[in-house]
Structure 1
């Protein structure tokens, strides 16, 4: 269960938050700049993955590392939002603090 509280954005909310057309938002998802989940019905993306109306830049590489390790989208989200002992914080907090190398190093050990 994620330990970080975040709002979750539906596709219409994500389109508005990013101020991009739906096609561009879908491309951001397809290209792993963002990741979302349907686990609670409608597809939603954690709002903490956005910074100043844009996807967190360090998120894409981290998503790819985790997916390459066999993580599903839901597992990627859960790992990013829960405390990681080796990092000393939730990975998303570390990414937002500019610690992407450390986060990806830990993520790469999960394969």
Structure 2
């Protein structure tokens, strides 16, 4: 798997299998679309087109049990502060980082400390 860096342009459709449109994501989180858009503006969640020409969508694995996956908000902040744009951040979260596995899997299994440490180390 190629390394994801702030200078790379990822192919999101090949990395992320399932996406939620904004209405479905809002429903899954139990919030209004207006509240979801506020979450997006605050970088608490990411929505972007999986392929050119698509509408903005949220990776389905970012939602778990009606909530944003534990640790994702902080991780997205670290990646944003490290120079990653939303597409690069999503690609990093879905790329195998020898954790074992992908960062999104570690977050969903409540093993987010190592994921955040690795993201913080990349910023230096």
Please report the TM-score for the alignment, with normalisation by the length of structure 1.
0.88
- Paired residues, what number? 110
- Does residue 45 (structure 1) correspond to residue 58 (structure 2)? The answer is yes
Residue aligning to 1:89:
101
Residue aligning to 1:74:
87
Contiguous gaps of at least 5 residues in structure 1: none
User: Structure 1 residue 30: deviation in Å?
Assistant: 1.7
User: Structure 1 residue 37: deviation in Å?
Assistant: 1.2
User: Residue 34 of structure 2: which of 11, 19, 23 is its match?
Assistant: 23
Contiguous gaps of at least 5 residues in structure 2: 1-10
- Note if contact 1:6-1:48 (Cα within 8 Å) is conserved in structure 2: no
Runs of 4+ in 1 over 2 A off after TM superposition: 1-6
- 1:13-71: CA deviation from partner (whole Å, max 9, x where unpaired): 11222221111111111222211212422000001000111111210000000011100
Please report the TM-score for the alignment, with normalisation by the length of structure 2.
0.80
RMSD: 1.7
- Note if contact 1:80-1:90 (Cα within 8 Å) is conserved in structure 2: yes
